[in-house]
Structure 1
């Protein structure tokens, strides 16, 4: 039996606000209200910052089905799309990004940057990434204690890697990291966010100009060839560069720091990882930490293009969807005993990278970086420990990417 969506006047008065708050003292777990909604039903209405009431999709099976459904759109410009935040007047709100487009344009633009992230190409980067990790650990061991692991290690590792891959000077890292933080901060003013996006767009456009004049062996130079061939405008190429630069360092940096904190709070699991030489166990640990932590904690956003019947409910055309992947990765139907961190678990089917045609392009690179970090850091600094209480760690509750602002450690 399929029910129809209630009209605005029929909506229940107790629709929860989204995003929801995590429980005090439980920084690794999804919000209790979200988990409660998951237990009640696979879909539930939530209220966003602008008063709109999209569907929150709570369960793993329904999320995978909808993420793979061509009747579901990622196009941010479509009416009913559930925006994360307010948009400044005249701002494109990231609409130039191919991850916020539908096929065929999405597929066409995505293919232009797929090759450098292919598994074999990424695997060839292992020695270079290992050297980056080792050099940064050398610097920490030679310096004073305690140290902020975010600043000294978690942020530089993926930043150095993505800069090398894209052809962006790492000497500019303060500029692009500061602006990236504004872009992904949920409560930043719309005008402030738009200014940060313009600054990054102008910066990448300037780099594109340099690459057009003197191409090198990097991803941005590859995009300039597309510009010369008329396949991309220079602005489109610059926007793709912005997307890859932000996604390439912010998400992995947060997984490095938050994953380390989770392991320090689960010493039996940390010991398991620190004492192994088995690459399969290391790979398994990465997948389990991605599942358990799921740093995309504001949900993936979509809008229905047609009426869709799913799980006994009808989603009407034009209604927004918030696919809460953090609670999908804690769905007991997909992951038995989901609130337990178990590095031996087979968690490869998690949705931390999404699912379907829009799943994360850079996941092979992220996996490799995390495998190298998690298999190296705790071996080389076996006495690594927090230099502050868990209650003193500043968590990123105000961002669209979850993590910690600082992680003071010593040994």
Structure 2
């Protein structure tokens, strides 16, 4: 059996490894970007994706690449701490099964664990998709063709496969009223001041977070309210315009912000479509299950969803049956996370000074029922069911 996976991000790489290592499939991964992505932000990795990473044997690599974080601290324009969340308490809420890792490093660990037998091609993507006697024929942007038993769209929120097979993006993507961005820069003074803390501005309608990386660089993460889903032509100019009024270390970060091409910038959105598969074409990751950064589990759910899909393919008589089984099991989990994210959105980036004060109180009582939801930075949605309740095939 042969699979073509479009998208060399977290979901695509996890699925490629699982299909080849467990099912023995021939796998080709296509990525339209010319090289692996280096832009991205720090994520809290926990939940079903953590379970899947452990089952796949990749967890030791993730632990090696992870960062020790002592706390998340909310600072005012003068650098004074207004509220904090102790990460040890956060980790205990997940039974210690929590890692803080840069998204590009998570992709790196998955990519390096791929067998050399898995074809990984950068700078090429699908130009057209059609049925064939073998299942699916994919014509590539370089003119080549591939026949496969299964085509997977793992190409993110703005999926090309989804647009070709399931319909235009406007029908599938729900803008949540925010934009987000991430970039890295060099500043030894900022690096030293941050230490092992994840520091965020304690501000209304917009928020920038900074944290120190092991190579001496500083990573910046930003999110602000915006009713317009369109991405700006110049991300750096947009960031300076939106965050230029903030104090503390933000002016230094904006002054060091790299050009547009080196800034990750996108809308904050969720995907919602009637079906995740059509024939032998299926979607995984953000292409069908984007929960948004408000839910805090996108990377974890991407790996876990790929794991469940591969598990279904092991036991099914027909590929199509496996695709339906994957959606039947996994869609309720995604719906739950999406609903939880929408409920907590107003606390993630408070729209008033009053809501900032409520968030301060929630952080002081973190660990009590309901407090983490008001804090807007803790896990959203139910922790159950665990991955082992959905998947049956061992690593």
Where is the helix percentage greater, Structure 1 or Structure 2? 1
Superposed pair shares fold, TM > 0.5: no
Q: TM-score, normalised by structure 2?
A: 0.28
Q: Which has the higher contact order (CA 8 A, sep 6+)?
A: 1
Where is the strand percentage greater, Structure 1 or Structure 2? 2
